[in-house]
């Protein structure tokens, strides 16, 4: 390990990793169902056209496509899924676009934005609350998954 960069403790880094991985899990929940559901909703994009996109872009593409889906269960699933993924991307981007800082004597990430009132330290508490929110979003989306082919 290179000692040139001060790192936060393993508990903090685990929360960062869990948040990033959980967002990717929500992406795959939605993308992985596309091949299974396209016979009933051919208006949906294929997984290959979305797999290289960012979470926010996937959410946007799904939101556009779902507007013309006629199957009510699939429409509801992807409406809620796209909204959840857009929120997950926002949360994840706060973390991945933050910079290292010393906050109250600890190494933490600090999120700088164009607006001073939206700048904040990404504390362990913030990460846990964000992870809890993501897990609730995934549970909600998963509860709406259409059955069958």
pLDDT tens track for 83-133: 999 999 999 999 999 999 999 999 999 999 888 888 999 999 999 999 999
Is there a domain that residue 2 lies in? no
pLDDT of residue 6: 81
Is there a domain that residue 106 lies in? no
Cβ neighbours of residue 88 closer than 8 Å, sequence gap 6 or more: 22, 23, 26, 55, 134, 137
User: Number of C-alpha atoms within 13 angstroms, CB side, residue 88?
Assistant: 33
Is there a domain that residue 83 lies in? yes
107: which 2 tokens?
């190494």
| Count of domains observed in the chain | 1
pLDDT of residue 115: 86
Q: Is the pLDDT of residue 149 over 70?
A: no
Phi-psi group of 115: left, alpha or beta (phi > 0 → left; psi -120 to 50 → alpha; rest → beta):
beta
- Give the Cα separation of 43 and 47 in Å (integer): 12
Q: Is the pLDDT of residue 141 over 80?
A: yes
Is there a domain that residue 108 lies in? no
Range of the domain at 17: 10-93+125-143
Is there a domain that residue 51 lies in? yes
Using pLDDT thresholds of 50, 70 and 90, give the confidence band for residue 2: low
Is there a domain that residue 117 lies in? no
Is there a domain that residue 103 lies in? no
Is there a domain that residue 22 lies in? yes
């Amino acid at each position: 390990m290179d000692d040139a960069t001060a790192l936060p403790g393993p508990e903090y880094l685990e929360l960062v990793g869990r948040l990033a991985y959980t967002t990717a899990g929500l992406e795959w929940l939605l993308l992985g169902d596309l091949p299974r559901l396209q016979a009933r909703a051919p208006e949906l994009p294929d997984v290959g056209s979305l797999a290289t996109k960012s979470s926010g872009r996937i959410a946007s593409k799904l939101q556009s496509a779902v507007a013309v889906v006629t199957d009510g269960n699939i429409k509801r699933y992807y409406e809620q899924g796209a909204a959840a993924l857009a929120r997950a991307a926002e949360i994840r981007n706060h973390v991945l676009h933050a910079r290292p800082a010393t906050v109250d004597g600890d190494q933490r990430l600090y999120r700088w934005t164009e607006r001073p009132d939206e700048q904040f330290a990404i504390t362990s508490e913030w990460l846990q609350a964000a992870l809890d929110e993501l897990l609730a979003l995934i549970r909600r989306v998963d509860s709406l998954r259409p059955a069958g082919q």
